Amino acid sequence: MLKIFRTNHLVSGFLLIFYAALIRSAVFILHPIEAVPDNSGVLSQLLYQFTQTNGWVPDLISLGIIFINALIINYLVAQNFLAQEINLFPGLFYIIVASCVPDFLGLSALHLANTFLIIGCFSIFEIYNKPSPAKYIFNAGLLIGISTLFNLSYGVFFVWVLIAINTLQTLKFKNFFVALSGFALPWIYTFLYYYWNGILGVLMENHLQNQFKFLTFGSGIKFFDFIPMSILILLGIVVLTGYNNHILKKKFEIKKKISLIYWMFFFGLLFLLTGTAALPEQLIVFTVPVGILLSLSFTKMTPPFDGLYHILLLFIVMLMHYLTLLGVI
């Protein structure tokens, strides 16, 4: 199966949606009850008003978001030559990671926030050695700002943008102001809309005060609640230990960009400290960096080991879905 995606054919790219449907099949067969997340942002709550959180519609929308994110990630990795060969592994392993925990299967605002985070990476990577990077810096700040409308805690990635600017360019005051202007723009329009309609208090209470907390963790979490999260934790450890292997014999530019993917992972940890307690759903923030970095590891593997590890991972993920949703664990 994995051999199909070791190419960069257009047809194989569209097969990713069937792969995503396969690995997420438990949600379509068992139809678990999904609660509305209490830490949703302005745009995500607007979405939930139209789609609800239970039934075929939100499940299909979630599937579509994962598929689109996978296609964007494939293009991002290929355009910036992050992997040693161009294939569909980045999108494929993003789908696996974005589906590896049963709580990831629902229509979560974090999947949508990740969409804008991924698109923002294009602007970030474009600023390398550009004589006039202002438009790319502004776009990066703007996209991170939009992601905070889905979940306010994604604001931590604005600091990641600043680190990226300093890594790929020079963090001058002008660049900082341009990035801040882009980041603030979505919220300026949001404040104006709520103020114009006389509901500014709703914005402050529901979307600002109740979202941003620090060092807040859920209570009543039992040991068995961590079992479904164990796959993601293990994959995170794998990609962290593979840093030297990922940057070995790479051009200086590519080394910097891969390092920024690792920075994204570490800012995911900061995200966990600043958001409301909603584990394990909050772990969705790690799916983009872990998916990309895991694909780099599998790209370097030789057959048949890559296929065997992939089948084993796919089996474990799907087994975890059914055991969890059936109430076995």
Cis, peptide link before residue 102, omega less than 30° from 0 = no
Q: By residue range, what is the domain housing residue 245?
A: 2-325
Phi (first) and psi of residue 212, to 5 degrees = -95, 115
**What's residue 289's pLDDT?**
98
More confident residue, 246 or 38: 246
Write the single-letter amino acid at 326: L
Secondary structure E strands in the chain: none
**What's residue 112's pLDDT?**
93
More confident residue, 176 or 221: 176
Number of domains the chain is built from: 1
**What's residue 209's pLDDT?**
64
Asked if the model's pLDDT at residue 211 lies above 90, the reply is: no
More confident residue, 36 or 268: 268
**What's residue 212's pLDDT?**
56
| CB burial string 291-319: b at 16+ within 10 A, e below | bbbbbbbbbeeeeeebeeebeebbeebbe
Total residue length of the chain: 329
Q: Are 105 and 21 in contact (CB under 8 A)?
A: no
* Chain Cα centroid distance, residue 13: 19
**What's residue 275's pLDDT?**
65
Task: Transcribe 151-198 into DSSP letters.
Answer: -GGGGGHHHHHHHHHHHHS---HHHHHHHHHHHHHHHHHHHHHHHHTT
- Cα separation, 75 vs 69, whole angstroms: 10
**Taking the C-alpha atoms of 324, 288, 150 and 226 in order, what is their torsion angle to the nearest 10 degrees?**
30
The token duo for 176 is 């900082």
Q: Is the dihedral of CA 23, 286, 156, 40 positive or negative?
A: positive
Give 214's pLDDT tier (boundaries 50, 70, 90).
Answer: low
Asked if the model's pLDDT at residue 219 lies above 70, the reply is: no
Give 66's pLDDT tier (boundaries 50, 70, 90).
Answer: very high
- Cα 300 to Cα 47, 213, 246, 305, 314: the distances in Å are 40, 41, 9, 11, 19
Note the pTM of the prediction, 2 decimals: 0.93
**What's residue 278's pLDDT?**
57
Asked if the model's pLDDT at residue 38 lies above 70, the reply is: no
pLDDT tens for each residue of 91-104: 999 999 999 998 89
Average pLDDT value for the chain: 88
**What's residue 157's pLDDT?**
97
Asked if the model's pLDDT at residue 30 lies above 80, the reply is: yes
